[in-house]
Amino acid sequence: MKLNKYILPIALAVSALSFSSCNDFLDRHPQGQFTEDDNPGALAEGKVFNIYTMMRNYNITAGIPAFAIEYFRSEDSEKGSTASDGADQAAMYDDFQYNTNNGLIKAYWSQNYAIIYQCNDVIETIEKGNLTEENDLRNKGEALFFRAYCYFNLVRAFGEVPLVTFKVNDASEANVPKTTAEEIYKQIDSDLTQAEGLLPRQWQSAYLGRLTWGSARALHARTYMMRNDWQNMYTASTDVMNSGQYNLDTPYDVIFTDDGENSSESVFELQCASTAALPASDKIGSQFCEVQGVRGSGQWDLGWGWHMGTELMGEAFEPGDPRKDATLLYFRRSDDDPITPENTNKPYGESPVSQADGAYFNKKAYTNPALREEFTRHGFWVNIRIIRYGDVVLMAAESANELGKTGEASGYLEMVRARARGNNPDILPKVTSLDQTVLRDAIRHERRVELGLESGRFYDLVRWGIASQVLHAAGKTGYQPKNALLPLPQDEIDKSKGVLVQNPDY
């Protein structure tokens, strides 16, 4: 597992460096050197590999901008760390005091568009070069997936955003007005439909972690879910289930460990690695675990302590649900506090003490101390789980229920609860009611605990139309309906010289 895991990230890092050096001389068109005209397919593939590297970036999947926008805004997550560390971000994302000059929205916006522009470059190279070899078409499928992924990030976060689907040679070319959310989703649908037709069901083992048909189809289901498009969501999610490519055989408490990487649960996860010689996160790994790591002292000085679970997250689990201990890492406030089952969930025999603000650390971002000592305490080697099969099954359950297929929905719900239950028949009883309302509540609850402290809870509340109700009850009374969308970064509006218009009420 360790050997295979490292093949792709190292290849991506090497390719990214090669691509960077190629760019230097391509701009000069030197005589007697390799240029894009010599082998456009090879350069396109190098750019695709670079996209994987860009996806592990701090600003889009592995750091505070992504966590603030996709996690903090729900009732189950909060900024964490200490009160003095990033108090402005707590005000912005925990308390909904939105600020158009906030640096995190700018970073998130910029990285998503940087990837989109790289995808446009790849797609144009392949299309204009009439590259039709199987590998070229797969590269195009990967670029289409990532473009759709980034536009989905943007349309959920900001609503109307500029739609740029051409290669950008000069920044001024991308200064275009906002496009309606409906049109953004049409582009997402087009990109993912094409990607589904181009990507393979599986890659050879040497390409572990590269995008597949299942990745594209599952992301498509997620985009339909955000629109409450039940029929298309149902079709896409059940297509993935019926493919036989994935299952729920991996125990829940293994999924987010080193042994759980690239398991049968994995629909798409970003491959990360670390070595004693090259631990830097921007080369082959990520800061995903470093940012969320336990902020404490001594052996617990593992990270920054951002993105923590709330008391409400802990209370959401049913009695005996093993997913609670696999999701939440409990701690004491001082060495004088007694160690009890209620405050200590001790992975690898450690006993946490911290002064962090939150109620729980995210155990899904916890790292093995032995590997910390071998590589780096920051946990750069841990893969980032982007789409997993449990989410797909719950998308099938929700859409089936909304379509009136309550018996089918009940079966999908039970699949997820049965995996969590394991061999203990005394917990997590089967939901036997076929009443649509009862099942709707049960499926929503299951999404909350199955996907606890993963991205998406805030967007679930928004699409269900219950964000104000739930967040106000949780004490986040600053939330208003307009806060479903973030303001556009003010400096982007300023740079556009009137082309971009701010979102309403900001």
Give per-residue pLDDT as tens, 134-169.
999 999 999 999 999 999 999 999 999 999 999 999
Q: Is residue 104 in a domain? A: yes
Residue 248 pLDDT grade (very low, low, confident, very high; cuts 50, 70, 90): very high
Could you give the angle at the alpha carbon of 189 between the alpha carbons of 268 and 64, nearest 5°?
Answer: 50
CA quadruple 285, 291, 449, 363: dihedral sign: positive
Q: Looking at the 3D structure of the chain, how many domains does it have? A: 2
Q: Please give the Cα distance from 175 to 498 (Å, whole number).
A: 10
Alpha helices in 307-354, H assignment, sequence order: 311-316, 323-327
**pTM to 2 decimals?**
0.92
Cβ pair 238, 218 in contact under 8 A: no
Summarised one tens digit per residue, pLDDT across range 229-243 is 999 999 999 999 999
Same domain, 368 and 460: no
Task: Look at residues 344, 366, 381 and tell me which one is the last residue of a structural domain.
Answer: 381
**Same domain, yes or no, for 46 and 194?**
yes
User: In the prediction, which pLDDT does 450 show?
Assistant: 98
Q: Are residues 39 and 182 in the same domain?
A: yes
Predicted pLDDT of residue 298:
64
Helix, strand, or coil here: 468?
A: helix
**Shared-domain flag, residues 140 and 53:** yes
Where does the pLDDT of residue 47 fall: very low under 50, low under 70, confident under 90, or very high at 90 and above? very high
| Residue 346: inside a domain | yes
Give a yes or no: residue 476 inside a domain. no
| The dihedral sign for the CA sequence 172, 174, 177, 178 | negative
> Which contacts (CB < 8 Å, 24+ apart) does range 82-88 have?
82/295, 82/305, 82/355, 82/356, 82/357, 83/357, 85/304, 85/305, 86/306
Cα separation values, 212 from 132, 141, 186, 297, 389, Å: 18, 9, 21, 42, 14
Same domain membership, residue 186 and residue 90: yes
Same domain, 53 and 170: yes
What pLDDT score was predicted for residue 346? 54
Choose the final residue of a domain: 360, 381, 402. Answer: 381
For residue 417, is it left (φ>0), alpha (ψ between -120 and 50) or beta?
alpha
Same domain, 174 and 303: no
- Express each pLDDT in 310-343 by its tens digit: 999 999 999 999 999 999 988 877 777 776 655 5
Say if residue 164 is in the same domain as residue 56.
yes
Within a domain: residue 242?
Answer: no
158-173 exposure pattern, b = at least 16 Cβ within 10 A, e = fewer: bbbbbbbeebeeeeee
Within a domain: 179:
yes
Place of tokens 């087009």: 190
- 121 falls within a domain: yes
Angle at 102 between CA 498 and CA 105, to 5 degrees: 75
475 in a structural domain: no
Q: Are residues 336 and 194 in the same domain?
A: no
Task: Go through the chain and tell me how many residues it has.
Answer: 506
What dihedral angle (degrees, nearest 10) is formed by the CA atoms of 298, 300, 303, 307? -140
135 Cβ contact list (under 8 Å, min separation 6): 41, 45
Domain residues for the domain of 327 are 285-381
Above pLDDT 70, what percent of the chain? 88
Give the pLDDT band (50/70/90) at residue 32: very low
For the chain, what is the mean pLDDT? 90
Whether residue 47 is found in the same domain as residue 182: yes
Q: What is the CATH number of the domain that holds 79?
A: 1.25.40.390
Apex 388 CA angle, 387 and 392, nearest 5: 95
Half-sphere exposure of 227 (CA within 13 A, CB side): 22
Question: Looking at the domain assignment, is residue 263 inside a domain?
Answer: no
Q: Which of 37-41, 318-322, 438-442 has the lowest mean pLDDT?
A: 37-41
Mean pLDDT across 385-407 = 98
Question: What is the average per-residue pLDDT within 268-273?
Answer: 96
Same domain, 186 and 41: yes
Residue that is last in its domain, among 324, 349, 381: 381
Same domain, 181 and 295: no
